[in-house]
Amino acid sequence: MKNVQTLLVGALFFAGALDLFGQQVSFSEAMESKEKTMTAELTPQDQQKPKAPPPDYVKYDVAPEVVKQIQPEYPDEAMKKNIEGTVWLQLLIGEEGKVIDVKVQKSDAEVFNQAAMKAATQWLFKPAMLNGKPTQVWVSVPFRFKLQEKASSAPAVGSMKAKNAPPAEDLKADKYPEVIKQVNPKYPEKATQEGIEGTVWTKMWIDEAGNVVEVKIAKTERAELNEAAIDAGKQWKFKPALIDGKPVAVWITVPFRFKLSAK
């Protein structure tokens, strides 16, 4: 089935609603005056109206796939003050797989924003595909800046997925995660041959970026179907849960029903 944008890289993309995080920072805005000057120098025949960026969430058949990652440099100021944090960026991936635009969705510390954006502009992707043709999409990538426990000149940066403690299973959110990409489980061959049907209830840990961090079995009618449900659940993608307008990690329950088609 078609996916609804957008992904993470690996398990890592999230296209969060832009207005959740307030004002955004964009490389395209920084270049605006320069682009106007260049456009003024062109003749009417040379001028070409730029292609409008896609909406935050778009359909695609094949998700963009990262082929080149550049890790950001740890800012000297942050190192001296022992500052750590994560910057969530939204990247506009063009039809050629290049990063056209970068926006800050959310940031734990502004000192990291420039380093994260500079690195992100150098990433390359296999473009998303729709009806066999490359298409522009937004993807979300978190850059985690974390100093190593022992003194080192090479701090760990740019982690694709932060390893945090799981949220409380009874955490109440103002708004719960909304699925934007779902993958149906593959029917186990043995279960198909033996005519096994049933429902598997999974519990998914959804992080602040809408990624599925962990999937476990809450209840099952047939254990033979558990692994297929877990494998599918790990590929789902969500708009994150919100508390007071801010994204939070939560657990949710998702049932997978396995039913053989009638002949």
Per-residue pLDDT tens digits for 203-252: 999 999 999 999 999 999 999 999 999 999 999 999 999 998 899 999 99
- Report residue 1's pLDDT band, with 50, 70 and 90 as the boundaries: very low
Backbone phi and psi for residue 55, each to the nearest 5 degrees, phi listed first: -65, 170
Q: How far is CA 191 from its chain centroid? A: 33
pTM over 0.85: no
CATH of domain 3-38+50-159: 3.30.2420.10
Domain locations in the chain as residue ranges: 3-38+50-159, 178-258
Q: Which residues of 204-221 are buried (b: 16+ CB within 10 A; e: fewer)?
A: bbbbbbbbbbebebeebe
Rg (CA), the chain: 21
CATH of domain 178-258: 3.30.2420.10
Per-residue pLDDT tens digits for 108-158: 999 999 999 999 999 999 998 889 999 998 888 888 898 865 333 333 333
Q: Where are the alpha helices (DSSP H) in the chain?
A: 27-30, 32-40, 76-80, 113-120, 189-193, 226-233
Q: In this structure, how many other beta carbons lie within 10 angstroms of the beta carbon of residue 146?
A: 16
Terminal CA-CA length for the chain: 22
pLDDT of amino acid 51: 64
3-38+50-159 and 178-258 have identical folds: yes
Nearest to 208 by CA among 245, 156, 253, 158: 245
pLDDT greater than 90 at residue 13: no
Q: How far apart are CA 9 and CA 139, in angstroms?
A: 8
Per-residue pLDDT tens digits for 72-121: 999 999 988 999 999 988 889 999 999 999 999 889 999 999 999 999 99
CB 248 within 8 A of CB 217: no
